[in-house]
Chains A and B, each alone.
Chain A
Amino acid sequence: MLLRHTPKEITPRAALTINPAKTCQPIGAIYASLGIHKCLPHSHGAQGCCAYHRSALTRHYKEPIMASTSSFTEGSSVFGGQANLLQALNNIFTIYNPDIVAIHTTCLSETIGDDVPQIISKAYEEGKIPKDKVVISTSTPSYVGSHITGFSNMVKSMAMQLGGGSSCKKDQINIIPGWVEPADMREIKRLCREMGLNTIMFPDTSGVVDSPQTGKFNMYPQGGVRLDEMQRIGDSEATIALGKFTSQAAAEALDAKYKVPCEILDLPIGLRATDRFINTLRPHSRLKVPESINYERGRLVDMITDMQQYLAGKRVALFGDPDQLISLSEFLVDLDMRPVYVITGTRGKKFLRHMQEILGEAVPEAKVQHAKDAFLLHQWIKNEPVDLLIGNSYGKYIARDEDIPFVRYGFPITDRVGHTYFPSVGYQGGSQLLERILGVLLDRQDRDAPEEGFELVM
């Protein structure tokens, strides 16, 4: 047993987190920054933060993840990191030549109280930032919130500091996709195109962290939202923000600053969340929902009706990030599955409220927690087992010890591929997700069936 010391008996813990279901803010800020074209994320802190975040993102994406660091020493921790950041900016523009540098802080620079916007002003004054280049920043103290908070903070800063408007409304909408995979961002853009909409999506990591093998490394791949697009987001008819935890803050800030009305939706994962997404796009489109989308929807519904017997009543444990868990739980309920245990490491009472709406009647026995860890989830499973576990790659240790079918979903996925290439949003994404869930359940049935009950047709 790998997690051999996890006891069945649950004792309260107030100080010790074991096997966290979250990580710290800055990594979210880096991922968001990568969704800007020709942007270099910069970590204002000690070297290790940047090294760890780059490594973690690289393991998930299997792509080069570029980011620079202020390389704090003990001296800078005492005297402040201004000199480091000024020097870093000068070096970055000379050596790596990005169009935009997106700075985020760390627990180190936050604790000592570095004023990053002030340092950036100084860098502009001192000519350390070339005239046609832009530097933005966001505050991401690791001791507040989680990686989700860091992503949300950077997206908001992006909207406020790169955004612009002309007070002349244009036939376009903003899409804030939330922390989803590049394949998901690509799929969301495709659905909008099918609906005949002009969109600006930010951040947009498609084409950045899933760039093709061409035989030539490109430090700034083709993808990412462009600066000229960002400078028009204030002119959009509306902002559609996907995922309360990751996108709401930016959408509301845009509304306040540029009077771009926003609609906050759940991530379009699964049937009904995608329905709501398409329905929200409809008033902005002059077209009827095209047949192609109706077909995609119909195929997903068809797949569910065909295979429903293998899904109904199955008990599922999930851990991951709030926006994903909300939509995923709703989808599982629509599949007649029972998401009995749901845990996120990220803190948020609104997560609990939302989950109550989804699970309250459908799965009254469900246990849902925020700001908790995968150790507790494992203990719950030991007390009453589940038929399926859904979570990031760390879940494989629980899945192996308890012999539970396992679908990898969320961040990070370090031991499989596909999550960056194949979407899980939209109807097609729903079909792919369903295919994976069915795959592990049916493999299990095949593995455990007695010889006479081993079925050719299922």
Chain B
Amino acid sequence: MKKVNLPDAAKIKDELLKTYPTKVGRKRSKHITVVGEKKEDNSIQANVRTVPGIITQRGCCYAGCRGVVLGPTRDILQIIHGPVGCAYYSWLTRRNQTRPESPDAPNYMPYCFTTDMQEEQIVFGGEKKLKQAIQEAYDLFHPKAIGIFATCPVGLIGDDVHQVSREMSRELGINIFGFSCEGYKGVSQSAGHHIANNQLFKHVVGRDDEPIAGKYKFNLLGEYNIGGDAFVLEEMFAECGFTLVSTFSGNSSYDDFCKSHNADLNLVMCHRSINYMAEMMQTKFGIPWLKINFIGAQETANSMRKLANYFGDQQLIETVDKYIAREMQAVEKARAEVRPRLEGKLALLFVGGSRAHHYQELFKEIGMKVVGAGYEFAHRDDYEGRKVLDGLEVDADSRNIEELKVANDSTRYKPRLSADQKKKLTQQGIKLNHYEGMIPTMEKNTLSIDDISQYEQEKLLELYKPALFCAGIKEKYGVQKNGIPCKQLHSYDYGGPYAGFQGAINFYREIDRMINTRIWKLIDAPWKEEEQIRANFATS
């Protein structure tokens, strides 16, 4: 690895805080952690309110519920109860790819359904209109299931989406369920993830007990199939002989969710958005979960080995090893091609609730240094690991997000591992129901910044002059105006897939192209310098 002299991260932190009003500076200071050698120093404030007036990356509860978790499911017809905007902005904007089973199979994702609430409903209530909207949707589409999403005014005027759902469910004989995911709840998208998990768990998971054929059965949680990531993974699992029961929720279907409790393991990709589901399925059905990461070739290989070892079949372990060895040849070839052009360059990643961690692996593989990383809506456990969960304080903003009380299912709870199997896994270093978090994997003298502001982002660009910044659509063009490429890690800039081995190759090449494209050298007109000198001369 090329040696790079980095500025002192602690000094950079001070710079970031300078302009803020005192109180704001004090608050922001707790969200900026200089990654040090001592583990106890690496604590961070997260999942608390954004200070009003700060230009933040964050969205709302509704976006996390409808946009992130439910959005990728093709055959649950989703009606957004509220004024038109919330439905409009979450219409096809997240690149969740899906492949219906057949040309006739249901796929409602290209559609946008809303009650388009008007002033009349704000004054007199919107339940009547919602009921009728459900009826109209049913008459036109005959879906198996309908989800109803509440937006800000719905909660304020007291429309009960759950009551309406129950009534209409009885009347139409299909599964209809509501989400109280009003935008003002919680402090970011995160509250919406939790609400989505709860309702899917309550109303969908466990409805179909039909045994599932195939060996080595698991669910993939927290994979949303942006740019076709889930397709890559589905192929990989199939080729190695695994049975993927369901994915929450990339390329997913309602029926898959209904039978997901019959799997023997949950793989957790995005810990932030889906750990609730993993925990609840563990408690109710006895399914352990395993944190994995399919971003980065090495991490994909590690994750696949863990998966094979979990099931413990020697032949399976060998098949997986062979598969990895084969795939790694192409990966190494691609890496050798791009590495000389990228080695030692700096990257900063501020995005989402798991991607800022996962993508660091890809940068390591091509020799780039991640000098700063942070999440948009994650909690402390995503930064510091689940070890902090016990001591975590729940503040007023999170207290109102329902925590489902889940118990062992008296007939369907089934421990998946014997004591011996558990022991063996521990010996192999495979920890179940565990996530170590992002910060322990970062190097010292780097920065971890939670809920970064537009101002801090600009400062970081100025102080680090990185070769690449990773964020989302709102940040992209501001970064690029500085002559620095910005890779969107929500939408992948309409590229991808980046998961698995083929995805890693795609990403290496993409980063090489973005950083080394000729246009960055052509920003200045050929006469700029000369004219500048002339202008300086004229004024002096």
Q: Is the CB of A89 within 8 A of B153?
A: no
Contacts of B57 in A (CB 8 A): 51
**Which chain B residues border A198 with CB–CB below 8 Å?**
none
- Asked if A75 contacts B396 (CB within 8 A), the reply is yes
Residues of chain A contacted by B156 (CB below 8 angstroms): 77, 108, 111-112
Contact B184 A26, beta carbon cutoff 8 Å: no
A279 beta carbon closer than 8 Å to chain B: no
Q: Which of B337-355 contact A (CB under 8 A)?
A: none
Contact with A15, one of B115, B122, B397, B477 (Cβ below 8 angstroms): B115
Partner of A46, one of B53, B184, B453: B184
The smallest C-beta distance from A37 to any residue of chain B, in angstroms, reads: 17
Task: Report B-chain residues with C-beta under 8 Å of the C-beta of A76.
Answer: 184
Q: How far is the CA of A73 from the CA of B182 in the complex (A)?
A: 10
CA distance in complex: A142, B142 (Å):
30
A62 to B482, CA, bound (A): 14
Which residues on the B side are within 8 Å of A144 (C-beta)? 118-119
- Which positions 108-133 of chain B face chain A at CB distance < 8 Å? 108, 110-119, 121-122, 129-133
In the assembled complex, how far is the CB of residue A436 from the closest CB belonging to chain B, in whole angstroms? 22
Report if B517 contacts A (CB, 8 A).
no
B120 to chain A, nearest CB (A): 9
List which B452-506 residues lie within 8 A (CB) of chain A: 453-455, 458, 461, 472-474, 476-483
Tell me which of B136, B186, B400, B481 contacts A64 (CB under 8 A).
B481
**Whole-angstrom distance between the alpha carbons of A20 and B85 in the complex?**
9
A47 touching B481, Cβ below 8 Å? no
A52 within 8 Å of B (CB atoms)? yes
Whether B482 lies near A216 (C-beta < 8 A) is yes
For the complex, give the distance between the alpha carbons of A67 and B57 in Å. Answer: 11
- With a cutoff of 8 Å between Cβ atoms, the chain A residues found around residue B186 in the complex are 73-74
From residue B118, how far is it (CB to closest CB) to chain A in Å? 6
Asked whether, in the complex, the Cβ of A20 is within 8 Å of the Cβ of B112, the reply is: yes
Q: Which residues of B contact A2 (CB under 8 A)?
A: 107, 110
Of the candidates A20, A49, A67, A112, the one whose C-beta lies within 8 Å of that of B114 is: A20
CB-based contact B140/A73 at 8 Å: no
Q: How far is the CB of B99 from chain A (nearest CB, A)?
A: 12
For residue A23, CB closer than 8 A to chain B, the reply is yes
Nearest-CB distance from A26 to chain B (Å)? 7
Interface assignment of B84: CB less than 8 Å from any CB of chain A: yes
Which residues does chain A contribute within 8 Å of B152, judged by CB atoms? 45-46, 77, 106-108, 111
| Closest B residue, CB atoms, query A95 | B455
B60 located at the interface, meaning its Cβ lies under 8 Å from any Cβ of chain A in the complex: yes
Given A48-B60, A48-B63, residue A15 in contact with residue B132 (CB < 8 A) = yes
Q: Of A25, A46, A94, A213, which is in contact with the most chain B CB atoms at under 10 Å from its CB? A: A46
B83 engages A94 (CB within 8 Å)? no
Contact A58 B53 (CB under 8 A): no
Q: How far is the CB of A52 from chain B (nearest CB, A)?
A: 4
Among A1, A17, A214, contact of B103 (Cβ-Cβ < 8 Å): A1
Confirm or deny: A386 has a beta carbon within 8 angstroms of a beta carbon on chain B.
no
Cα of A45 to Cα of B151 in the assembled complex, Å: 12
B62 within 8 A of A: yes
Q: Does A3 contact B (CB under 8 A)?
A: yes
Closest to A375 in B: B111
Whether A90 sits at the interface, judged by CB under 8 Å, is yes
- Among A5-13, A164-172, A256-264, A336-344, the one that faces the other chain is A5-13
Contact stretch, chosen from A80-88, A175-183, A246-254, A306-314: A80-88
Interface assignment of A335: CB less than 8 Å from any CB of chain B: no
* Cβ A143 vs Cβ B79 within 8 A: no
Residue of B nearest to A66 (CB): B55
Q: Is B302's CB within 8 Å of the partner chain A?
A: no
- Whether B84 contacts A20 by the Cβ 8 Å rule is yes
CB of B387 within 8 Å of the partner chain: no
Considering the complex, give the chain A residue whose CB is closest to the CB of B21: A94
Collect the chain B residues with CB atoms within 8 Å of residue A143's CB: 83, 117-119, 121-122, 153
CB pair A214–B481 under 8 Å, yes or no, is yes
Known: A18-B112, A87-B52. A96 touches B136 (CB 8 A): no
Measured CB to CB, the closest approach of chain A to B461, in angstroms, equals 8
By beta carbon, the residue of chain A nearest B19 is A95
Q: How far is the CA of A78 from the CA of B352 in the complex (A)?
A: 28
Does chain B have a CB within 8 A of A16?
A: yes
Any chain B CB within 8 A of the CB of A232? no
In the bound assembly, the distance between CA atoms of A373 and B453 in angstroms comes to 37
B103 touches A4 (CB 8 A): yes
- Distance A91 CA – B112 CA, assembled complex (angstroms): 37
Q: Say yes or no: A91 contacts B24, CB within 8 Å.
A: yes
Task: Let me know if A211 is at the binding interface, CB within 8 A.
Answer: yes
Inter-chain contact B523/A214, CB cutoff 8 Å: yes
A73-B49 in contact (CB<8A)? yes
B54 at the interface (CB under 8 A from A): yes
User: Closest Cβ of chain B: how far from A213's Cβ, in Å?
Assistant: 6
B372 contacts A by Cβ under 8 Å: no
Q: Which residues of chain B in 122-181 are interfacial with respect to chain A, using CB atoms and an 8 Å cutoff?
A: 122, 129-133, 135-137, 139-141, 151-153, 155-157
Closest to A218 in B: B481
Give the contacting residue for A91; candidates B53, B61, B473, B478; CB below 8 A. B53
Q: Which residue on B lies nearest to A70, using beta carbons?
A: B52
A135-184 residues with Cβ-Cβ distance < 8 A to B are 141-144, 146
A358–B62 CA distance with the chains assembled, in angstroms: 42
Q: How far is the CA of A87 from the CA of B22 in the complex (A)?
A: 13
Would you call A55 and B93 a contact (CB within 8 A)? Answer: yes
How far is B458's CA from A397's CA once the two chains are assembled, in angstroms?
38
| Residue pair A27, B85 in contact (C-beta under 8 Å) | yes
Q: Which one of B110, B157, B478 has the highest number of Cβ atoms from chain A below 10 Å of its Cβ?
A: B110
A272 in the interface (beta carbon within 8 A): no
Interchain CA distance A217-B135 in the complex, whole Å: 50
Contacts beyond the supplied A17-B114, A52-B63, A214-B523: 12 A-B pairs with Cβ under 8 Å:
A2-B110, A11-B140, A17-B84, A23-B84, A46-B184, A52-B85, A66-B55, A67-B55, A72-B184, A94-B19, A94-B21, A143-B119
Can you list 26 A-B pairs, Cβ within 8 angstroms, ordered by A? A11-B139, A15-B129, A15-B131, A16-B133, A16-B136, A20-B84, A20-B116, A23-B84, A48-B183, A49-B60, A49-B85, A55-B93, A58-B474, A69-B56, A77-B184, A88-B53, A90-B21, A91-B24, A91-B51, A107-B85, A108-B184, A112-B156, A143-B83, A143-B117, A143-B119, A218-B481
Chain B residues with a Cβ under 8 A of chain A:
19-21, 24, 49-63, 79, 82-93, 103-104, 106-108, 110-119, 121-122, 129-133, 135-137, 139-141, 151-153, 155-157, 183-188, 396-397, 400, 453-455, 458, 461, 472-474, 476-483, 523-524
3 closest Cβ contacts across the A-B interface?
A48-B60, A24-B85, A88-B53
